[in-house]
């Protein structure tokens, strides 16, 4: 089956399960912190949130003072919610591999946990580079297939395969596509083909939940202390990785 047909079925799956995706994100979330650090001080620079879902990162940026944000999302159900809940932000229904924007249009583009759901990674990266201005900056967060599970310290690919085969994953066992977790250096190599400068950073996931009992909070506190020491020695085993690129 061709990539476009697979992509259509993936989008349909997102439409069907749109109810599971959150509309908001906590400002203290590690992804928000990394994104805000990447963007720097609020400005009127043109920013594209690629794969914006229900617009939660767009909303966070708008509230933080960023004025010129556009969200792009292929799922009609997700984009419908994004538009309904964020009247002051522009949203476009569009695929990452076929963006309806001019060349050299955006100053910044970010893509958070989206590339793993796109069959043709190279094509998506090429489109990202196309719509960015010369000197424009790319920011990606996605999952590292070489990582250890941040809770149990077991190889990520083992429990991912187990959940997929147990029909406990987003995509059912017999679905024609499996969510991608990336070998960080391989994705960085793809980015280098389209961007002048790239870099990547491994992110430690820290468990936080205000609704936990005091006992569990203390357990997670100890767990986080251990994980800090562990991942300081083995940063490449973190579940999440950030990639940055600068267009020539």
SS3 17: coil
Q: Note the pLDDT of residue 217.
A: 74
Q: Note the pLDDT of residue 146.
A: 95
β-bridge pairing 240-246 and 197-203: antiparallel
Q: Note the pLDDT of residue 208.
A: 63
The torsion region of residue 75 among left (phi > 0), alpha (psi -120 to 50) and beta comes to beta
Residue 95: half-sphere exposure toward Cβ, Cα within 13 Å: 20
pTM above 0.85, yes or no: yes
What Rg value do the Cα atoms of the chain yield, rounded? 18
Q: Note the pLDDT of residue 166.
A: 92
Q: Note the pLDDT of residue 59.
A: 98
Q: Are 179 and 187 in contact (CB under 8 A)?
A: no
Place of tokens 């579940």: 239
Tokens of 217: 């909070």
CA distance 61 to 65: 6
Q: Are 14 and 22 in contact (CB under 8 A)?
A: no
- pLDDT tens track of the chain, all 248 residues? 577 899 999 999 999 999 999 999 999 899 999 999 999 999 999 999 999 999 999 999 999 999 999 999 999 999 999 999 999 999 999 999 999 999 999 999 999 999 999 999 999 999 999 999 999 999 999 999 999 988 788 899 999 999 999 998 999 999 999 999 999 999 999 999 999 999 999 998 766 666 667 777 777 778 778 888 888 899 999 999 999 999 99
Q: Note the pLDDT of residue 212.
A: 66
Q: Are 62 and 89 in contact (CB under 8 A)?
A: yes
CA distance 96 to 116: 12
Q: Note the pLDDT of residue 218.
A: 78
């Amino acid at each position: 089956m061709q990539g476009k047909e697979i992509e259509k079925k993936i989008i349909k799956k997102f439409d069907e399960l749109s109810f599971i995706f959150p509309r908001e994100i906590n400002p203290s979330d590690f992804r928000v912190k990394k994104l805000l650090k990447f963007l720097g001080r609020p400005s009127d620079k043109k920013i594209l949130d690629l794969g914006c879902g229900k617009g939660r990162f767009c909303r966070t940026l708008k509230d933080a003072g960023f004025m010129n944000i556009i969200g792009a999302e292929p799922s009609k159900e997700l984009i419908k919610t994004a538009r309904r809940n964020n009247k002051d932000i522009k949203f476009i229904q569009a695929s990452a591999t076929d963006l309806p924007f001019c060349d050299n249009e955006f100053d910044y583009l970010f893509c958070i946990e989206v590339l793993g759901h796109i069959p043709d990674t190279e094509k998506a990266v090429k489109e990202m580079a196309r719509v960015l201005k010369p000197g424009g900056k790319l920011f990606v967060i996605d999952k590292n297939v070489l990582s250890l599970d941040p809770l149990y310290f077991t190889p990520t690919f083992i429990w991912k395969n187990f959940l997929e085969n147990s029909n406990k994953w987003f995509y059912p066992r017999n679905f024609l596509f499996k969510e991608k977790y990336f070998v960080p250096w391989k994705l960085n190599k793809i980015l280098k083909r389209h961007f002048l400068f790239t870099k990547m950073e491994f992110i430690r996931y820290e468990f936080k939940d205000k609704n936990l009992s005091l006992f569990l909070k203390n357990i997670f506190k100890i767990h986080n202390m251990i994980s800090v020491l562990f991942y300081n020695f083995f940063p490449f085993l973190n579940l999440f990785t950030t990639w940055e690129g600068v267009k020539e």
